[in-house]
Each structure stands twice: as C-alpha cells, then as structure tokens.
Amino acid sequence: MNFIITNYQKIAGLRATFSSGKTLSIEFRLKQLRALLRLYEENNDKILEALKLDMRKSELEGYLYEVDLMKNDCRGAIRSLKEWTKPYVLDRNWLMLADGAQIERVPYGVVNIYWCIILLERGRPSTTVSN
C-alpha cells in the first residue's frame, strides 16, 4: 500500500511539472535523455550484477543484450529528438491555397518508466502514459 501512495505522489509531482510547461523545450528533454544515458553508464556494473542475480545472465550477454541496447536507444533518441519534434507541414490543396497547415509535435502527458521492467524488456522501456 505504501508503494502505491508513494508512486501516486510521484506521478502527481510529474503531472504538475508537465502542466507547468517546463517539459516542452527540446533542451529540457535532451537534458533528461542525457541524464538517463549517464545513469546507465554510471551504474553499468550494478545493472550487470542485477542481471546476473535475477536472470543468470553472463556479463557479456547482459552487456550486449541489455545494457548496450538501452544505451543505444538513449543515444538514438538524443540524435533524433530535434527531427521528431519538427513541425510536419501538410501539403496544400486548392481549398487552402491562401492558408498553410502544420502538425505540431508536442508531448501529451506524463510517462512513468518502471525500472524493474526495463531490463526484462531487452532495453525497451515499458511505460505507462497518463494524461
């Protein structure tokens, strides 16, 4: 029960941060992705040890199929974030010759990453999205 209350309080705090507009800037999101990458790099040995204890993975297997995949996902997101967030300009047709239209790609809500599941999903974070 205590875990649920604590988790609910954390998500409420994340929603408040999201509602403030702080998370809209690309710089903020890049900072968060870099922090996540740093977390993986600084805790490499702890992650490998947990994989060995929980899943009986060798150090090589744990690094290649878990840790390295997570790091590469972070690096790929860092490289691609600016492209992913660029507005998508829609093609014009004769009905909107004087107008222009584009789709703005902005975050929808809070994403909660469950750390214990990340390693089980082969480096792909499992997430819960909440609006």
| Domains of the chain by residue range | 2-130
Inter-residue contact 48 to 67 (CB < 8 Å): yes
Q: How confident is the model at residue 27 (pLDDT cuts 50, 70, 90)?
A: very high
Interhelix angle 26-42/44-55, rounded to 10 degrees, is 60
Please tell me the distance from the alpha carbon of residue 33 to that of residue 58, in angstroms, as a whole number.
27
Tens of pLDDT, residue by residue over 72-117, are 988 998 999 899 888 888 888 777 777 878 888 887 776 655 554 4
List helix spans (H) across 20-113.
Answer: 26-42, 44-55, 59-62, 68-85
CATH 3.40.605.10 fits 2-130, yes or no: yes
**Measured distance CA(8)–CA(11) in Å, rounded:** 5
**Global pTM value:** 0.69
| Averaged pLDDT for residues 39-67 | 88
